[in-house]
Structure 1
Amino acid sequence: MTVDVNSSPAGSAAASDSHDTAQAWAVGQPSRWWHGIWSLPEVRWAVIATTFFAVGGICHLAGAPAWLWWGLYLTCYAAGGWEPGLAGLRALRDKTLDVDLLMVAAAIGAASIGQVFDGALLIVIFATSGALEAVATKRTEDSVRGLLDLTPERATRLRLTEQPKGAEGSREAYGNAVEEQVDAASLRVGDVILVRPGERIGADGQVVVGASAVDQASITGESIPVDKRPGDEVFAGTSNGTGALRVRVNRPAAETVIARIVAMVEEASATKARTQLFIEKVEQRYSVAMVAATVALFALPLLWGVALQDSLLRAMTFMIVASPCAVVLATMPPLLAAIATAGRHGVLVKSAVVMEQLGTVDRIAFDKTGTLTEGRPHLTGVRVLPGGHLTEERLLALAATAEQYSEHPLGAAVVRAARDAGLPLGTLADFTSEPGRGVRARVDGLTVEVSSPAHPTSAGVRSDDSAVRTVATELQDAGHTAVVVRVNDVPVGVLALADRMRPGAPEAVTHLTELTGTAPVLLTGDNARAANRLAGQVGITDVRADLLPADKVAAVHELQGDGTRIGLVGDGVNDAPALATAHTGIAMGRAGADLALDTADAVVTRDELAGIPAVIALARRARRLVAANLVIAAAFIAVLVAWDLLGDLPLPLGVAGHEGSTVIVGLNGLRLLRGAAWQRALRVGAQRS
């Protein structure tokens, strides 16, 4: 309702340009995405290794000559193993035993005894894992850099001419100002900039002249544009509505809120050390012990006069049966199967590490707008004032007709509600709008005004009507936005609008409380009234409102201060620092900002909140299967190692036992691929785990 009719053509043109840009993006994005991913050497080598492995496997099964598929497998070894092997050798110089180097050594050992397929499979698994990690890192870095694009590169600075004494800060002080196009980064504290309708604001500052509605969802997460008047603060990177603003800069470019968001995401990503799977931590110690034992098993018998070939064969058999390959494969299949199952049902989990982390979450923290709510306003009530002599349907129809040309989200919500109700709209004429106030038009011969309770569009209209004030205050206290409808300058009704709760939100909150044993917390940049209203609807009692991005990060640190592992669910740019800081970050996918999607560890692609307790339950089951597989793998290794050390284990039998344990644990983990696994997770998510 802050639309200037004169700016509507420009707004339409901008919308058209945006649509064309979106179409071009949709066409060009896949190729740009693939080009960006292909630029990573880890991805190129992983693709090459996987290709040679696949072709070698086909030739092997097809009965091709052994030299052919052996050559293809060995090429796979070289393509996928040279980089981790080289990195491992460099690590050895720092007296660190790299697990990837041991995997390469185990693969070479497998090839030396004829098990070249097993070694190639191990190489492909590790190469693919490294490529996925590189892709995730690049996407996050690109999104952080792209976040800076929210702030325009250029700004219109006003150079004030000589002005009458005492006119500082007044509208007259800017009447003859000279406009200068400058780099936004060069703006200094005290500069005054002009922000035209539809532009992004170039700096943090304070409004000195003008009124408009500013969409600051990227900073605060508020779903409804906020009316700004002289004295109000605005943020760089937020979108101005249809009024012109003159803003005095109060922070340099490097200290704006949007710049601090970038810094916080980068800092959190850097300080949040690369999380390892539990088994990786065990492997590092186990692998050192295995290498030492293999060397001892080869060298000591030689001192006792054992033949070189016999000593080498026993040591090689020991290395194969004691190899951590079986342990790795005992761990990865359940986690990868859980990732695949979650992905089929609308939850993208980015890595096995994340899946393991999800299984350890102790408490969930929710953002409000776009997470527990849909992120756009809806009409929630129509109140006819005493003496209005109108039905609710007629009141809504008149308001919707007056709002037809409005580009404000509240006006669009009113029009959408009337159309959904099947109400016919009247004839519109003489439409006018005033930023920060509302719209006024002739509808079927009546003068209809739809405006803010405190700021009617006409100077002759009273804003202190007691009936209007009473109803508006009641609605606002309940967390709604109130809009007054006047006919012929007489208030006849009040419309209530609010962001709408997502379907299934209360059930998701209940299930998460039962699953984790702790009630979720609400962290939002929205105002306290709206936050408390939603919290009451979904069943959350711990509410923290009016939070800027840095405040959300501080809240996450506080919640995790006692060792609690927080899973944060959000969707906006303002959530990204907290998503990076939390133990596990989960983003809502459909309307989520690019930075939030790339920073998060998991993405709910269908925006179904029921998927959050389900994926946590699935992750916990995957962890239980990993534990069971480790017991199985350890039992096989213990028996085979004891046989080799205390008896005479034939090499073929050792290989068979090693491969048998791998098959058993692999099949056990793949149980999570069944559709029933997700249905079971949904049921577990609805009751205490």
Structure 2
Amino acid sequence: MIRVDAPGTAPGRVLARPPSLLVTGLRLPEVRWAGAALVLFLLGWGLQLAGAPAPVWWALYLACYATGGWEPALAGLRALKDRTLDVDLLMIVAAIAAASIGQVFDGALLIVIFATSGALEVIVTQRTADSVNSLLNLAPEQAALLREDGGTVTVASRELVPGQRILVRPGERVGGDGTVVEGTSEVDQQAITGESVPVLREVGDEVLSGTVNGTGTLTVEITRPASASVIARIVALVEEASETKAKTQLFIEKVEQTYSVGVVVATLLVLAVPMAFFGHGFEEALLRAIVFMIVASPCAVVLSTMPPLLASIANAGRHGVLVKSATVMEAIGRTSVVAFDKTGTLTEGAPEVTAVDAAAGHGEDEVLALAAAVEHYSEHPLGRAIVRAAAERGLPAGGAEDFRALPGRGVTGRVGGRTVTVERADAGPAAAGTRVAVRDGDERVGMITLVDRLRPDAPEAVRELTALTGSPAVLLTGDNAAVAATVAERTGIGAVHAALMPEDKVTAVQRLQARGERVLLVGDGVNDAPALAAADTGAAMGRRGSDLALDTSDVIIVRDELGALAKLVRLSRRARRYVIANLAIAATVITVLVTWDLVATLPLALAVAGHEGSTVLVALNGARLLRRSAWNT
């Protein structure tokens, strides 16, 4: 049973101010500092392995400390000023303590891990901000404002106010949200609503800023200021969702405050209690405290989490799926329901001819050949699909004479002395697609049906994801209910929400989340970006995806292979199992070494060996996810 929900296209929330852009003042120097720290670390490690004098590689490691650690240290000190502790500061202290007992390599490795993860977060945030900014370019900077005398004057689109009228010529972008008061044309709204073919717009119909006018001329009365246009609302929705979306935290981030305070307090006690009550000297107590901090530091805990997730990211990348962070990889495995956009995601986003119905006395090839001849010079997606279908059948490819576009209707021309017209027809029995009538003069010689081509792997991908999550997949589309229901039936999707504007998609995602679902949304267009940001995980189609969708999403499916999603979910779940196993190993080793240090004398060499051994063990265990079999099972 397919449930279809087709709300109207209500304008939704109107902004009281122009939307601010997503992020300002990003600290791009973080990226340079992290890169410098990584280079210094690799140089030091290489010279150490090559047997260079110790002072040389020590100097490089210490330079790595300085370049990669000064900012986390400063952030930690600021947090300390606010009476909070975080793992960043604890890592700096642990790295310094490691260097003080000769383990400078381990300290430098921690510095590089933290600096690099921070830099990657900055890069992703900056790209998203840049893409949101570029979204505003969809709306033209200028519009032709109609004067009372019938002339026009060019004005800035952002200055248009409700009640003013603009002239939109063929091929131009609409300068503002409004209503058609004169003229007929087809308008390409795919970037905003996701509709796969241009839609007819005539007197009384709404048009949206940034959409592309077809062959007719439209007079549009502005109904919303630029700050309240659909494009402005998309920008605001992406901004709002990015700011309020709950950050998926790694284990260490969830407990860092408690753990950090506990380690600091315990280290001070290990230093003070033996001197106060057992007569130990300062040097002896200090050595015990340093050993305690080394064995209690969360190095193994951090590496319990990161290597499995980073290895999974690398493995997915080899198979054409880019996951933007470890937190995203961790979150994917907790997906409980998958939602899909239609156009460009489940479908190719390009119409194809599926049926040619010839009238009595005419053949299918004749009908298709006549239509293709007239559409030969057309740039309309339906026209290109007809020409392509004729070529696939090997039909003559010549163009018509006296070609002329009929705004809002179709095209006409002369083919072999016959006046042939191709125009939109009533939906009729092909309501799930688009039908065009082919006429020879006044006689209808046939009908051609076109539908948006379904991706071949879509049904299997939906089936696998439904089995993995245990919940029916959901379709969120701006297309009409009939088309949406047909696609859902062909792919096995259980719930459909049709005729959605971008804000409606966000609302649909939020309703699923309110039920306790963890939503993975798959989309490709500008209109999907707010919902991609609002979903627990957003995945964008790499080949067709808009810049905004690619940069707002958490995952990019580079080759547009929907089948990769189920493998990604399985890989994430496997990585999570590895993380849990690693944490158990790390916690056991830390507990044993800390207890030993407290109740007896733990030799420094053994402390370092045990601590580093557990760190290496969990790192190697996580690296197993690099194997090809981890992706395919």
Same fold (TM over 0.5): yes
Matched, 1:67 2:55: yes
Query: Where does structure 1 differ by over 4 angstroms across 4 or more consecutive aligned residues?
Result: 36-39
The equivalent residue for 1:514 is: 467
Matched, 1:196 2:169: yes
The equivalent residue for 1:107 is: 95
Which secondary structure state, in structure 1, belongs to the residue aligned with residue 154 of structure 2? strand
Distance in 1 of aligned mates of 2:632 and 2:393:
37
Q: Verify the 8 A CA contact 1:398 1:425 in the aligned structure 2.
A: no
Which secondary structure state, in structure 2, belongs to the residue aligned with residue 248 of structure 1? strand
Specify which of 427, 433, 442 is matched with residue 414 of structure 2.
442
Which secondary structure state, in structure 2, belongs to the residue aligned with residue 266 of structure 1? helix
Specify which of 281, 294, 304 is matched with residue 330 of structure 1.
304
The equivalent residue for 1:563 is: 516
List per-residue Cα deviations over 1:599-652 (Å, max 9, x = no partner).
111111110000111101110000000000001111111111111111211001
Matched, 1:629 2:582: yes
List per-residue Cα deviations over 1:546-598 (Å, max 9, x = no partner).
11111111111111112111111111111111111111111111111111111
List per-residue Cα deviations over 1:2-29 (Å, max 9, x = no partner).
xxxxxxxxxxxxxxxxxxxxxxxxxxxx
Distance in 1 of aligned mates of 2:253 and 2:26:
28
The equivalent residue for 1:252 is: 225
Matched, 1:473 2:428: yes
Distance in 2 of aligned mates of 1:196 and 1:426:
29
Matched, 1:351 2:325: yes
The equivalent residue for 2:620 is: 667
The equivalent residue for 1:419 is: 391
Q: Verify the 8 A CA contact 2:26 2:122 in the aligned structure 1.
A: no
List per-residue Cα deviations over 1:16-48 (Å, max 9, x = no partner).
xxxxxxxxxxxxxxxxxxxx9998111010011
Distance in 1 of aligned mates of 2:565 and 2:574:
14
Specify which of 115, 133, 158 is matched with residue 185 of structure 1.
158
Specify which of 178, 201, 216 is matched with residue 243 of structure 1.
216
Distance in 2 of aligned mates of 1:448 and 1:382:
16
What letter is aligned with 2:607? Answer: G
Distance in 1 of aligned mates of 2:563 and 2:485:
22
> Number of residue pairs matched?
609
Distance in 2 of aligned mates of 1:39 and 1:381:
57
Matched, 1:298 2:271: yes
Residues 134 and 426 of structure 1, relative CA distance in 2, 3 Å threshold? closer
Unaligned 5+ runs, structure 2? 1-23
Distance in 1 of aligned mates of 2:467 and 2:140:
46
What letter is aligned with 1:130? Answer: G
Q: Verify the 8 A CA contact 1:398 1:426 in the aligned structure 2.
A: no
The equivalent residue for 2:477 is: 524
Specify which of 519, 523, 529 is matched with residue 576 of structure 1.
529
The equivalent residue for 2:370 is: 398
Distance in 2 of aligned mates of 1:256 and 1:218:
14
Q: CA deviation at 1:279?
A: 2.8
Q: Verify the 8 A CA contact 2:170 2:217 in the aligned structure 1.
A: yes
Distance in 2 of aligned mates of 1:575 and 1:278:
30
The equivalent residue for 1:362 is: 336
User: Percent identity between the aligned chains?
Assistant: 62
Distance in 1 of aligned mates of 2:285 and 2:512:
57
Matched, 1:274 2:247: yes
Specify which of 490, 493, 510 is matched with residue 540 of structure 1.
493
The equivalent residue for 1:84 is: 72
Distance in 1 of aligned mates of 2:166 and 2:399:
40
Which secondary structure state, in structure 2, belongs to the residue aligned with residue 560 of structure 1? helix
Matched, 1:213 2:186: yes
What letter is aligned with 2:290? Answer: M
Distance in 2 of aligned mates of 1:596 and 1:676:
30
Distance in 2 of aligned mates of 1:420 and 1:330:
56
Q: Verify the 8 A CA contact 1:449 1:489 in the aligned structure 2.
A: no
Distance in 2 of aligned mates of 1:71 and 1:421:
72
What letter is aligned with 2:428? Answer: T
Q: CA deviation at 1:445?
A: 2.3
Q: Verify the 8 A CA contact 2:480 2:499 in the aligned structure 1.
A: yes
Q: CA deviation at 1:444?
A: 2.0
Which secondary structure state, in structure 1, belongs to the residue aligned with residue 544 of structure 2? coil
TM-score, normalised with respect to structure 2? 0.95
What letter is aligned with 1:390? Answer: H
The equivalent residue for 2:238 is: 265
Q: CA deviation at 1:197?
A: 1.5
The equivalent residue for 1:467 is: none
List per-residue Cα deviations over 1:486-516 (Å, max 9, x = no partner).
1232001100011111111111111111100
Which secondary structure state, in structure 2, belongs to the residue aligned with residue 644 of structure 1? helix
Q: Verify the 8 A CA contact 1:53 1:121 in the aligned structure 2.
A: yes
The equivalent residue for 2:29 is: 41
What letter is aligned with 1:270? Answer: E
Q: Verify the 8 A CA contact 1:379 1:498 in the aligned structure 2.
A: yes
CA RMSD of aligned residues (A): 1.4
What letter is aligned with 1:379? Answer: V
Specify which of 84, 101, 124 is matched with residue 136 of structure 1.
124
Distance in 1 of aligned mates of 2:67 and 2:402:
72
Write out aligned runs for 1:315-326 (5 A).
315-326=289-300
The equivalent residue for 2:632 is: 679
Distance in 2 of aligned mates of 1:37 and 1:510:
44
Which secondary structure state, in structure 1, belongs to the residue aligned with residue 514 of structure 2? coil
Distance in 1 of aligned mates of 2:258 and 2:348:
48
The equivalent residue for 2:314 is: 340
Q: Verify the 8 A CA contact 2:376 2:398 in the aligned structure 1.
A: no
Specify which of 288, 292, 295 is matched with residue 314 of structure 1.
288
Q: CA deviation at 1:190?
A: 0.7
Which secondary structure state, in structure 1, belongs to the residue aligned with residue 146 of structure 2? strand
List per-residue Cα deviations over 1:41-80 (Å, max 9, x = no partner).
1101001111111111111111111111111100000000
What letter is aligned with 1:339? Answer: I
Q: Verify the 8 A CA contact 2:179 2:220 in the aligned structure 1.
A: yes
Matched, 1:492 2:445: yes
Q: Verify the 8 A CA contact 1:426 1:443 in the aligned structure 2.
A: no
What letter is aligned with 2:243? Answer: A
Q: CA deviation at 1:421?
A: 2.1
Q: Verify the 8 A CA contact 2:185 2:213 in the aligned structure 1.
A: yes
Q: Verify the 8 A CA contact 1:342 1:349 in the aligned structure 2.
A: yes
